[in-house]
A and B are shown apart, each in its own frame.
Chain A
Amino acid sequence: MIAQLRKLVLGETRTLPIGVASTLLAGLALDAAGPGWWHRAGGFVVLAGVLVTLGVSLRR
């Protein structure tokens, strides 16, 4: 039951939670580094991070 719950929340591969966490951390760092451009274009950086995460998870 616990194993199934963990699989439900974290998924079948660790790549997805790690990728989402990395995207979040990169977003926080970039927001702190340059809030001006991040405010306008940061969404596309998040989208790119998610696409890379998805691509890597499919190769595992």
Chain B
Amino acid sequence: MAIVLAVAAERGRRDALIGAAGAIVLLALAGLLIGPLVLARIPLEPLQVVVGVALLLFGLEWLRKGILRLARRRAPSSSLAEYLEEREALHALAPPADGPDWAARVVAGKGVLLEGLEVVLIVAALGAGADGLAPALAGAALACVAVCAIAVVVRRPLARLPESQLKYLVGVVLSALGVFFLAEGLGVEWPGGDAAPVYIALVLVAASQLQVAALAREAPA
């Protein structure tokens, strides 16, 4: 979103929207290919392993970055900084004298494609479970509505959102679901059944907070 806004502000809304729309079409095709065509053909247990590994690869990366940010070993996540950097980069690129601004379209499209692909993979992975795609799609739609509603109601500047903390929590949730599905795919029956992701998440929070404290102590003053 920050990249598309930067393209719109620096080079015009039309090219930003065309680039973003092109990426959305590609993401829809990717979702169709990954979900109904590939994941739907895999038997349940191997599918749970694939889903678990995918969720762990994304979740642990988010969690790792979140821990480093909370321990002040990495710059805080900032969409505002990303927006300003992208505007500066686009400002240095001269727009074409006439005809479509392909550079602006590609930058906007690439931003949406890279961020969106992660969402498509996570929703497709969660939607591949026994309950089907509907709960995953409903969750994704609910998240979109909630983000828009918060933006309208709170109206806080982008810079004041606790992005690092939000991304850390996303990392905990994705990693907990990844551990749950990977173990189930390997034939494990969790104590507590479907409630297991809750205590797995609590263990991940406790362990990661210990890491935050240890890294913060080691950080140079």
Q: Which residues of A contact B (CB under 8 A)?
A: 1, 4-5, 8-13, 16-17, 19-20, 23-24, 27-28, 31, 35, 38-43, 46-47, 50-51, 53-55, 57-58
Chain A nearest CB, measured from B180 CB (Å): 8
Number of B residues near A (Cβ < 8 Å) is 35
Select which of A1, A35, A38, A50 is within 8 A of B56 by beta carbon. A50
Q: Is the CB of B187 within 8 A of A35?
A: yes
Contacts of B61 in A (CB 8 A): 11-12, 16
Chain B nearest CB, measured from A52 CB (Å): 10
Tell me if B117 is interfacial: C-beta within 8 Å of chain A: yes
Tell me if B53 is interfacial: C-beta within 8 Å of chain A: yes
User: Secondary structure of the B side of the interface?
Assistant: helix
Interface segment out of the listed B10-18, B149-157, B188-196: B188-196
Chain B nearest CB, measured from A22 CB (Å): 12
Q: Which residues of B contact A (CB under 8 A)?
A: 49, 53, 56-57, 60-61, 63-65, 67-68, 110, 114, 117-118, 175, 178-180, 182-183, 186-191, 196, 200, 203-204, 207-208, 211, 215
Q: Is the CB of B207 within 8 A of A51?
A: yes
Select which of A1, A20, A39 is within 8 A of B189 by beta carbon. A39
Q: Is the CB of A54 within 8 A of B211?
A: yes
5 contacting pairs across A/B (C-beta < 8 A): A28-B186, A46-B186, A50-B179, A54-B207, A57-B64
Contacts of B53 in A (CB 8 A): 20, 24
Q: Is the CB of B186 within 8 A of A11?
A: no
Contacts of B67 in A (CB 8 A): 54, 58
Select which of B60, B114, B187 is within 8 A of A38 by beta carbon. B187
Contacts of B200 in A (CB 8 A): 43, 47
Q: Is the CB of B187 within 8 A of A24?
A: no
Q: Is the CB of B183 within 8 A of A5?
A: no
Bound form: Cα–Cα A50–B190 in Å: 16
**Residue ID in chain A nearest B61 by CB atoms:** A11
**Residue ID in chain B nearest A10 by CB atoms:** B57
A42 touching B187 in the complex, CB below 8 Å, given contacts A16-B61, A20-B53, A51-B207: yes
